[in-house]
Structures are given as structure tokens and as C-alpha cells.
């Protein structure tokens, strides 16, 4: 591992000179801008500031990136420069096009490996790569599979840990034309991770590297990107995203099994395993985004109001009202839409008491004092049949 200290400076420069770094920052800001624009159009309010997508992801991304980097440096995971460049290009294209549901470890890095393999088979050379091929000389499939397993595990942990922190409400129309509510989770993470490529000043020696890949390496700091975009109409967004995250963890375990196989055999079966893993990851996104055709959670009701979301630090937030709950009565008056809700609130402008049915069907009472300027704004977002231009239910997840 001699020479690694001297590689840190060039590695940092590689990160800050990489266009993908700034493309991802711009993509996070754009996601926040579009979210706020949609929320204001549908509900005349915003859930969180526009910078939320950027600020909420920084610390979790750095923590998980540190874990990935430790594994990479200790084991000496090394990937061909051609495959790394392809992964950066694919990530940038997906980020710019808004196809963030495909910004997964397997979609990006698995596809880059398969593309490099195809380009080498077609005889398409890499003009800036001295080896002349995308996968280079002496490519080791074992290192690739370990990298896919580690990065997919990091993705699953991020989704379970941080992907459930916040969501954005929306409303649309069912196939029968009735208004229904939903929740969308759209998150991006940029992980600054260290990765080796063959050739350079870092020399192998003693026990290091643990993985095969050569005798000399260069250290890079890469913006590995991860994204999710899921909608739900029949369950809570946190339940949907957490379940998807655990499925991603399971796929990471399968990728680890693929790495064990690659240790003994690196023939045609490795591209097949990679393709199967990509399809499994795609299945997770599709399955998580599928909704029941009639069992919608957020609908117009005659016996109460379905809570689609609650604005942070609002009176409803202080009363611990949660999305998915149903408000039955306000100040002892039955409510069924926004107008009846605020008529009941204004009967006592200094105090508010709600009869609430929680997600498990149990009844409870929530109450709080209202300030003089809050008698008309509890902070509850709900479906309003008078609003128009809903978002399509069938938009790609």
C-alpha cells in the first residue's frame, strides 16, 4: 500500500474536476425546485425548503461513502478505467434526463461492465486509455462483483436509513375519475468513494491487496450516485420505501454470492449473473411502485378527512397528526372536506380538538391551543375536489 498518501491529492482533484459532481448537485436542486412547484400548485403550500433534497442527503451519503471507501482501500478493489468512465457517463445521462429511478448501483455499474464487455467484443478502442480496451488487460471479475455487492449494500442501507425521512404529497385521479391522494419519494445521494484503477504509484506488497488486480494502482475519488423515485397510493411512503430498501439489501447478498462464484470462475456466467442482478433491482422498483386498483389510502370520504400530509411545525404537527390518519370530528363537529374542517376550527379560534382514527383503526383525541393567526391554517394537506390539473397516476415511477 506504499504511495497511497501521495495519491490523495490527485484523487481529490479528480473528484472536484469531475463534471458529474456538479451535475448531481444541480440535479438535487432541480428535484427540490420541481417538488416545491408541484406542492404549491396542488396544495398552495410547500412541505420543505427547496434545498431539502441536498441538505438531507449530505451526512448520510458521507457516512455510507466512508464505509464503502474503507472496504475499497482495505481490500484493494480495482476496476478498469474504461468501465469507470462509462459508469460516470451513464450516471450523468440519467441525472440530466431525470431518469433517477435507474440511478442504482446495479443499473449504473452493472450496465457499464456489460457495455465495456460489448465494446471490447466489437473492437471499439478507448482513445485515451493506453491499454486500448475498455476492460483493460487482466480484468478481474471477482473485484467487479465485490464492488457491485458493496455498493448495492450501501444503497440498501441508505434507502432504509435516509430514504424514509421525508416525502412529498400529490393528488391525481383514479381510473374512474375520482380524486385520490398519493405520496412520492424522490431522493438522490452522491457518495464520494475511493476506488483504485490499475497502474500508478500505489504499489502492492505484503498482505495487500486482498483482491487480485495487479501490482500498481492509482487512487480515484468518485461521485458514486444513487437515486430512487417511487409513488404510492395505497400505503404510507415510509412503508413502501423501507420494504424496497430491504429488498435491495437482499440483492446485495446475492451479489456477494456472485462474487464468491467469480472467485472460482470468471467466464460467461459473470455477465449473466450481472444481467440477472440488474433485472432483480428493476423488479424491486416496479414492485414497490405498483398500487392496488381500488384500495386507495387517501380518498374523499363522507365520514372524515384523509390526512395526506402534515406541514412541519404546524398546529397539526404539534398535535402529532400523521399522514394516513382520518380526522372524524373537529371541535365535536363532523367533517368531510376542507371547507367543513375550517368551519369547525373557526368555532373556537383559540383551541382545537380533533377526533382522529389512526392508521390501525384506533380512535384518539388530539388537541392544541391555536395562536391568533392560526385559526385557518392547521397545516393539514388533504384532497380537495375543487382543485384541478392532477398529476397522472400512471407517470413512470
Predicted pLDDT of residue 293: 54
Predicted pLDDT of residue 393: 47
Please check whether residue 352 is in contact with residue 370, taking contact to mean a CB–CB distance below 8 angstroms: yes
Please check whether residue 143 is in contact with residue 71, taking contact to mean a CB–CB distance below 8 angstroms: no
Question: Counting Cβ atoms within 10 Å, is residue 40 exposed (0-12), middle (13-18) or buried (19+)?
Answer: exposed
**Grid coordinates standing for 239?**
412503508
Write out residues in the chain with pLDDT < 70, as ranges. 1-2, 126-132, 137-138, 213, 291-294, 371-376, 385-397
Domains in the chain: boundaries: 4-289, 300-381
**Burial track 65-82 (b if 16+ CB lie within 10 A, e otherwise):** beebbebbbebbbbbbbb
Contacts of 55 (CB under 8 A, 6+ apart): none
Give me the CATH code for the 300-381 domain, please: 2.30.42.10
The dihedral of CA 11, 13, 15, 17: what is its sign? negative
Predicted pLDDT of residue 348: 77
Predicted pLDDT of residue 298: 86
Predicted pLDDT of residue 344: 87
What is the model's pTM?
A: 0.90
**Interaxial angle between packed helices 19-43 and 52-75, expressed in degrees from 0 to 180 and rounded to the nearest 10:** 150
What are the phi and psi torsion angles at 168 (to 5°)? -125, 135
DSSP string, 33-70: HHHHHHHHHHHSS-SS-TTHHHHHHHHHHHHHHHHHHH
Number of H helices, E strands in the chain: 11, 11
Amino acid at each position: 500500500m506504499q504511495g497511497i498518501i501521495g495519491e490523495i491529492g490527485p484523487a481529490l482533484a479528480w473528484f472536484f474536476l469531475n463534471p458529474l459532481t456538479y451535475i448531481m448537485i444541480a440535479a438535487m436542486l432541480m428535484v427540490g425546485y420541481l417538488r416545491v412547484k408541484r406542492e404549491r400548485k396542488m396544495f398552495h403550500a410547500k412541505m420543505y425548503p427547496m434545498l431539502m433534497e441536498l441538505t438531507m442527503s449530505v451526512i448520510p451519503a458521507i457516512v455510507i461513502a466512508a464505509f464503502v471507501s474503507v472496504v475499497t482501500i482495505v481490500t484493494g478493489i480495482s476496476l478498469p478505467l474504461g468501465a469507470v468512465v462509462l459508469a460516470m457517463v451513464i450516471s450523468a445521462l440519467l441525472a440530466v434526463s431525470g431518469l433517477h429511478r435507474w440511478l442504482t448501483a446495479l443499473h449504473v455499474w452493472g450496465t457499464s461492465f456489460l457495455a465495456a464487455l460489448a465494446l471490447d467484443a466489437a473492437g471499439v478502442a478507448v482513445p485515451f486509455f493506453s491499454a486500448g480496451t475498455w476492460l483493460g488487460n487482466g480484468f478481474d471479475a471477482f473485484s467487479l462483483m465485490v464492488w457491485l455487492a458493496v455498493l448495492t449494500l450501501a444503497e440498501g442501507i441508505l434507502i432504509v436509513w435516509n430514504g424514509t425521512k421525508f416525502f412529498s404529497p400529490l393528488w391525481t385521479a383514479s381510473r374512474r375519475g375520482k380524486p385520490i391522494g398519493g405520496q412520492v419519494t424522490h431522493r438522490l445521494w452522491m457518495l464520494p468513494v475511493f476506488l483504485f484503477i490499475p497502474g500508478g504509484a500505489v504499489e502492492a506488497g505484503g498482505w495487500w491487496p486482498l483482491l487480485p488486480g495487479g501490482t500498481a494502482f492509482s487512487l480515484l475519488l468518485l461521485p458514486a450516485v444513487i437515486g430512487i423515485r417511487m409513488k404510492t397510493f395505497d400505503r404510507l411512503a415510509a412503508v413502501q420505501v423501507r420494504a424496497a430498501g430491504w429488498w435491495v439489501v437482499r440483492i446485495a447478498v446475492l451479489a456477494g454470492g456472485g462474487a464468491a462464484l467469480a472467485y472460482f470462475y470468471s467466464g460467461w456466467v459473470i455477465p449473466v449473473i450481472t444481467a440477472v442482478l440488474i433485472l432483480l433491482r428493476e423488479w424491486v422498483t416496479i414492485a414497490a411502485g405498483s398500487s392496488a386498483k381500488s384500495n386507495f389510502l387517501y380518498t374523499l370520504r363522507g365520514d372524515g378527512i384523509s390526512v395526506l400530509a402534515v406541514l412541519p411545525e404546524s398546529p397539526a404537527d404539534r398535535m402529532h397528526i400523521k399522514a394516513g390518519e382520518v380526522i372524524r370530528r373537529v371541535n365535536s363537529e363532523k367533517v368531510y372536506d376542507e371547507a367543513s374542517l375550517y368551519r369547525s376550527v373557526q368555532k373556537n379560534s383559540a383551541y382545537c380538538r380533533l377526533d382522529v382514527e389512526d392508521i390501525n383503526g384506533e380512535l384518539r383525541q388530539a388537541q392544541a391551543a391555536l395562536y391568533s393567526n392560526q385559526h385557518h391554517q392547521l397545516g393539514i394537506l388533504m384532497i380537495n375536489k375543487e382543485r384541478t390539473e392532477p398529476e397522472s397516476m400512471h407517470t413512470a415511477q
